[in-house]
Structure 1
Amino acid sequence: MIVGAGPAGADLAWRLASGGADVVLVDRLADLTRAAFSSAALPMAAVREHHLPEAVIAARWHGWQLMGPGSQRRLWMADEPLGAVLDFGALRQWLAQRAAAAGARLRLGWCCEGWEPMAAGARVWLRGPDGQRSVWQPRWLVDATGQQRALLGDPVHPADRLVAGVGVEWLLQVDSQSWRRWGDQLSFMLGSDWVPQGYGWVFPMQPGVLKLGICRLQDPARPQPPLQGLLLQLQRRLELTEATVFDRHGGLVRSSIRRREPHQRGPLLGLGDAVSTANLLGGEGIRHAFSSSAALAPLLLGALAGDAEGLRSYPRRLRRRFGWRWSLSGRLAERTWLGLRSPEADRRLERLLGGLEACNAEDLSALLFNYRFERYGLRALPYALGWR
């Protein structure tokens, strides 16, 4: 049984069902297109790797625009599309339908009220959309509930502390002139005068629709201005106040920097954001959720065939997939976003961005999506390590 039909849970259900397993996929939402918060920008390599259909692609983009600190503006463009922005609700629906077509049983609108270990697996209590209750006894139970970690719980060891980022995003209906201005690149607003301890963005969706959003790390050591006010300020500065806001949503990202928290408790396994696969540097989670599914699926199929010991390698396999750059990107995220609250921090960020001006758009994608910091050694690594 998999609780949570996000990208990680639905992808795992498809992989397991395709491998012959009896799979139940549970989600509290009856309609997976609802509550669809995700910036959902992917490189084209990921679109091809996961065979994503046209129906889930809202837009393709060719470049990067970085605005700030202050009035600075930098633009990198490529001849071919560098990536896509997905319709996240359509993606979730397609993933769940693909899992069902492979044989997974969907229980949409059902909540998991609790679970307990048993000698032969787990006992799970579910509540349906009309209040009806049901008890299940799966051999293995997977927590794919995202940062909520509804079944696995938060890590308790101080070394595995969770760093949290909160985001708010609006969907805007814009005129053709605004669409042409923003519709061919991913745009980020950087600097303490834009979003203290965070960043803003404008992403294209379907023609005439833009995503306007902000994300920042939560800082328990000091007060932070309300996100709503920051988003309104961003809208004004970008001259998008005439746009019609037709959807508002938000969400929370919580991940540990080193990803050393437990991935298993008896018959319960964590998946996706429940084991910190959301990257804090850019708040990106979809690709990494797929990675956790790809790592866990063959091990679970082996466990169902009698090799439960193989599951011990799950955390190691996942760390190998992410590589050494993962923890470095987390350190860079903490240093950049939490420290971005003063003119001095803006000048430090300005030096880093200035060092990247010689890059082309493809190089920048490799840096921001694949965390290829070593390619910019003297420019990026000293900043990430706190040397300047």
Structure 2
Amino acid sequence: MEQFDVVVIGGGPAGGQTSRNLAKKGHKVLLVERYENFSLNNFSSAGMTLEPLDEFDLPETVIGAYWKDLVIQCTKKAYTWQGKTNKGVVLNFQKLREFLADETLKLGGNVWMGHKYLAKEVQKDSVIVELLNTETSENIKVKTKLLVDATGPLRKVMYDAKEEQPEMVLGSGTEYEIEVSQEIYDQFKDKLLFFLGHKWSIKGYSWIFPMENRILKVGAGKTHLTSLNQEKTNKTTRKITEKIIAEYVKAKDYKIIDKHGGIIRYSRGLKDKFYHNKVVGVGDAVSAINPRGGEGIRYAMQTADLASTYIDEYLKTGKENFENYRKIWRRKKLLKWNLSEFSGRRMYSRYSDAQVENRVQFFYDNFNIDEMIASLFNFKYSKPFTRLFQYSFIKLSYLFKKEKF
């Protein structure tokens, strides 16, 4: 039975960054990815600001496109915040994961593609991990000192099949990657475009992101929460996405490169297990997403960086200090995370079309593009934003009286 210091299950941004970090520190790492190649689950839109490129030392090759302008299209009007310089990027999700896996290999780690996680057996000082080689149907067992759950919202490693999980909020989405004419692409390049309101979205938001030349990502996401003001509807995220392509993009002769769906599941209040029985959670397995914007790559990779510090300490000293991993993450993120979740829930599930329009108009009249980006992507709120959300802070304050950091 082959032995490793750490086995990371899941080759997404969180898993890839964890394996990259630990291989760089000299540990014997195995990164396990269930698909045979990364093109088979290229499902993330991956819109973000510029800071993560330097934060995680990412190369130009993982960038699909740059964007300067932020656009929010409501049912009646479109609101555009223009940037004079590049404000962010849309990453090529496939190339990002390939880069992190290649880095792991270059640094002396191991990467097994086409291997599915089946089960774990926790022993006194190790974990036996059972994997399935999807090409040969062979069951393989490996031994490791620590196991990392980077399986995303399903949390397949942290929790056994019938084990109870914390109460989760569910979201789902559909995205089409399409090739369009140069004329149509030029209308949407340099922009991140979001849709709010009932015409172009349903209990969530929709989007158009530019990628490489003539390639657009068009999608819609939905939160599965009780709506007070939105009428019941048989609309689906697939139907909304196709409506945007037909009626908004007005693309008639376009090529579908890929279409996919996915889910998010996050614990309201970040009540996830971050460590249990020699399993460390990273990324979506510990709800590392922006609940208002759905963007999670930067936060996933941040959890990987933080978790790697404590994994490295454990492997060198045997000291299980993973409670600090949880405490530090919650201390940095919980307040702003809950505020983001609260405001997103109101916008997506409670507001009427008129209320959505009024709120976006207020933002447009009072906040510049940098303030909007800081709020939407980075959980950072300027003083005007803080005053706007004072009521939300008061409503949320009771949640934190019982929290222990």
Q: TM-score range by the shorter chain?
A: over 0.9
TM alignment of 1:1-388, pairs within 5 A = 1-68=7-74, 70-128=75-133, 129-153=135-159, 156=164, 160-219=166-225, 224-242=234-252, 243-340=254-351, 345-357=352-364, 358-373=366-381, 375=383, 376-382=385-391
Output the CA distance in 2 between the equivalents of 1:311 and 1:148.
21
Could you say what secondary structure the match of 2:40 adopts?
A: coil
Name the Cα RMSD after superposition: 2.0
Structure 1 residues 179 and 380: CA distance shift in structure 2, 3 A: farther
Deviation at 1:74, TM superposition (A): 0.6
Q: Determine helix, strand or coil for the equivalent of 1:98.
A: helix
**Secondary structure of 1:324's aligned partner:** helix
SS at match of 1:25: strand
Shift of 1:359: 1.9
Contact in 2 for aligned 1:331/1:384 (Cα 8 Å): no
Does the 8 Å CA contact 1:335/1:384 hold for their aligned counterparts? no
What is the number of residues matched between the two proteins?
380
Q: How much has 1:363 moved relative to structure 2?
A: 1.6
Q: In structure 1, what is the Cα distance between the partners aligned to 2:390 and 2:39?
A: 40
The equivalent residue for 2:403 is none
Q: Distance in 2 between matches of 1:112 and 1:236?
A: 40
Aligned equivalents of 1:103, 1:322: Cα separation in 2: 33
Residue-by-residue CA offset, 1:90-144 (whole Å, 9 max, x unaligned): 1110110011111111111111110111011211111112112211121111111
User: 1:224-274, CA deviations, whole angstroms, 9 ceiling, x for partnerless residues?
Assistant: 522222222222220433132221112111111210222122111111101
Change (3 A) 1:332 1:163: same
Provide the C-alpha distance between the structure 2 equivalents of 1:356 and 1:307, rounded to a whole number of angstroms. 50
Stretch moving more, 10-19 or 261-270: 261-270
CA distance in 2: counterparts of 1:109 and 1:196, whole angstroms: 36
Letter of the aligned partner of 2:146 in structure 1? W
Asked if the contact 1:299/1:311 (under 8 Å) is kept, the reply is yes
- Return the alpha-carbon distance in structure 2 between the equivalents of residues 58 and 43 of structure 1: 13
SS at structure 2 position matched to 1:62: strand
Q: Extract unaligned runs of 5+ from structure 1.
A: none
Q: Which runs of 5+ in 2 are unaligned?
A: 1-6, 397-405
Alpha carbons of structure 1 residues 380 and 182: separation in structure 2 relative to 1, 3 Å? farther
8 Å contact from structure 1 (residues 352, 383) kept in 2: no
| Deviation of 1:374 (Å) | 5.1
One-letter code of the match for 1:234? Answer: I
Q: What fraction of aligned residue pairs are identical, expressed as a percent?
A: 27
2: CA distance, partners of 1:181 / 1:100? 40
Are residues 374 and 258 of structure 1, via their aligned partners in 2, closer, same or farther at CA, if it must alter by over 3 Å? farther
Amino acid corresponding to residue 250 of structure 1 in structure 2? G
Distance in 2, matches of 1:316 and 1:384, equals 21
